Amino acid sequence: MMNKNLSFSEKVNYVVRNIPFGRIMTYGQVAALAGNPRAARIVGGIAHYGDSDLPWHRVVNKNGGLASGYPGGRIEHKIVLSAEGVHISELGYVAVDEYIWWPDLSL
DNA sequence: CGAGTGACCGCAA
DNA sequence: ATTGCGGCCACTC
């Protein structure tokens, strides 16, 4: 695949957009798929600046905590995710180990 | 073009 | 589970 022509934000854009319903990904994971496992912060930055069309609510930090700067706050983030069928603890933590999604490696 | 910013990650106590 | 510290890199102004 010749994705190398895509900018980092473009790759992030592509990955986030392909996260299926009821599934989540971590920032570090998206960053790794975008080509920079250390650019997790960049993913957050991209989320903050633009690409508002992407399902950022499906992107959480590796600890399972919801984004603190999400529009409306963690509460909205929690509501949206719960609407996707993702169970969230009252503290606003999601079971990353259960809902985490990777590209279809399964055959 | 320079500096600051950020929705993070990892480890340690 | 929480808190604190440092590092990392692309994006915006």
Quick one: pLDDT at residue A22?
Answer: 93
Pairwise CA distance, residues A65 & A91, whole Å: 9
Pairwise CA distance, residues A43 & A26, whole Å: 10
Spanning CA of A48 to C1' of B9, the rounded length in angstroms is: 18
Chain-centroid distance of CA A29 in Å reads 8
What average pLDDT values come out for chain A (107 residues) when binned by 10 residues? 76 93 94 91 89 90 89 88 92 90 76
Quick one: pLDDT at residue A23?
Answer: 94
Spanning CA of A7 to C1' of B7, the rounded length in angstroms is: 20
Pairwise CA distance, residues A99 & A107, whole Å: 19
Which nucleotide is nearest, taking the CA of residue A30 and each C1'?
B8
Whether CB of A47 is under 7 Å from strand C: the answer is no
Residues A78/A92, Cβ–Cβ less than 8 Å: yes
